[in-house]
Amino acid sequence: MQLGDVLDSVTLDVATSSIEVTHVEIDSRECVPGTLFFAMPGTKVHGVSFIDDAARHGAVAAVSSEPFGAVIPVVVVPESQLYALMAHASSAVVGHPGQELDLVGVTGTNGKTSVTSLVGSLARALGWNGASIGTLTNERTTPASPELFRSLAHLARGFDVERPRSVVALEVSSHALHQHRVEGLRFTVTAFTNLGHDHLDYHRTMEEYFAVKSQLFTLEHAKRAVIWCDDSYGLRLADMTSLPVTRVRRSDAVDVTESMQGTIFFWRGHLVNTPLIGGYNVDNALMAMEILRSLGASESDIAASMADVEGVPGRFQVVSAEGLVVIVDYAHTPEGLRRLLEDVRRLMNGGRIITVFGCGGDRDRAKRRQMGEVASSLSQITIVTSDNPRSEEPDAIIDSIIEGTVAGATVLRMADRRSAIAEAIRLGEPGDVVVLAGKGHETTQVIGDVVLPFDDRVVAREFLK
């Protein structure tokens, strides 16, 4: 594809316009022959510093907001247009795959991964093509535009053309919306789960955070919306959007029966029997079912197919169900941790909750005290440990968390996460529940610049033996 067609909104000279482009990339090390390299602004170094390296790896042209003398042509555009232009170029080079799919965009603080995974799983259970893109499939919650559109194209090529629908559910983070990563996509359905304290290191205030999330609920981005309205921000969004809205509430699930083996309830008059565990998974299931209903599936088929959905890795995942129960969950916000621990208490028959958790380094610091308060008020024993400390000192993060713990609570500190999990299991007795929160499905731990293998589920099973 010629560069003039890829950058059809930019005026180029004839020679530059005729350059053949086969790939779009933002990492110079990933460039191959035929790559259009986008030199993006960075927190420390501008991408223009890597244009020559991109050229050595095969880049044939670059786009930047800063002029740069290089061996390949450099197209200079205003920084305000750079991200949207990259999304457009990324889509064009792989053939605009979003146009072939029923796209579902899910945003919110908690529940994005679960809802997108359930939508993909439920679509497959219905006999459709179904997949999800997000935390479980890519490095970022919402991949950068080149990776995102390559992922969409890969899924579209792999789907069975004989199936009636092809659904891809995409986690849409606030960072992605702010950085225009999904520019040019029009979702068949957009969904909102909730809004809680997170990412305020990036957005500064809850109002700013909400305003960014709200951008997804416009006619430019979607055809209709499914919104969780037991959340005050969700109710506000449902009232203000111009999209047709399906409002979802917990009361939509009737006669709910929960256990450590699964959940049963009635939805729209139909029996739902699902292996999903926990009250917040009832909320996620309701959202996923209403999304599939908005896509045209029948209510009875949706309800019956919920028996075949796959559990979401690291979301209320029961590692041990006999004697000492061990649950691994990704809860990493105050609201998410509260919901998790309240669900655990409701499902228990006596016994104690022993919670192991930490907070990520180089991320929203304001939530640390709140999470300390939540964990220590809802657990009989709280062990504060490391999550992914990144460049911060683990003990400094732990100090911040412990400042929020309630007076008189039993709180231990163990910076080494492996040791903390071992101690929780050692302290546990039959009837107790050990909750390992914060990392969920993750299989690594980031300490400084080192990425180490670490999986809460694997470590817990080791000590349970």
pTM: 0.90
Task: Decide which of 251, 284, 308 is a domain's last residue.
Answer: 308
Query: Which domain covers residue 157, as residue numbers?
Result: 97-308
Whether residues 115 and 165 fall in one domain: yes
Per-residue pLDDT of 325-334, as tens digits, reads 999 999 999 9
- Average pLDDT of the segment spanning 422-431: 97
**Amino acid 197: pLDDT:** 67
CATH number for the domain harbouring residue 167: 3.40.1190.10
Whether residues 144 and 267 fall in one domain: yes
Whether residues 332 and 188 fall in one domain: no
User: Which residues make Cβ contacts (< 8 Å) with residue 97, sequence separation at least 6?
Assistant: 91, 149, 152, 153, 155, 156
Number of domains in the chain: 3
* Percentage with pLDDT > 90 across the chain: 90
Per-residue pLDDT of 100-153, as tens digits, reads 999 999 999 899 999 999 999 999 999 999 999 999 999 888 999 999 999 999
Whether residues 273 and 295 fall in one domain: yes
C-alpha angle 30-35-41 in degrees, rounded to nearest 5: 70
Q: How far apart are CA 364 and CA 367, in angstroms?
A: 6
Per-residue pLDDT of 161-208, as tens digits, reads 999 999 999 999 988 998 889 998 999 999 999 998 665 666 568 899
Whether residues 88 and 105 fall in one domain: no
CATH number for the domain harbouring residue 89: 3.40.1390.10
Q: How far apart are CA 330 and CA 259, in angstroms?
A: 20
Cα dihedral 198, 204, 206, 208 sign = negative
Whether residues 19 and 89 fall in one domain: yes
Whether residues 253 and 336 fall in one domain: no
CB 84 within 8 A of CB 183: yes
Whether residues 271 and 125 fall in one domain: yes
Whether residues 261 and 222 fall in one domain: yes
Say yes or no to pLDDT of 312 above 60: yes
Residue 226 has phi, psi (to 5 degrees) of: -120, 120
**Amino acid 293: pLDDT:** 98
Whether residues 132 and 264 fall in one domain: yes
Per-residue pLDDT of 64-114, as tens digits, reads 999 999 899 999 999 999 999 999 999 999 999 999 999 999 999 899 999
- Average pLDDT of the segment spanning 395-399: 98
Whether residues 75 and 183 fall in one domain: no
Task: Decide which of 42, 61, 93 is a domain's last residue.
Answer: 93
**Amino acid 372: pLDDT:** 98
- Average pLDDT of the segment spanning 295-317: 95
**Amino acid 200: pLDDT:** 62
Task: Decide which of 37, 62, 93 is a domain's last residue.
Answer: 93
**Amino acid 198: pLDDT:** 66
**Amino acid 175: pLDDT:** 87
Mean pLDDT of the chain: 95
CATH number for the domain harbouring residue 339: 3.90.190.20
Whether residues 123 and 248 fall in one domain: yes
Closest to 66 (Cα-Cα) out of 84, 85, 51, 87: 51
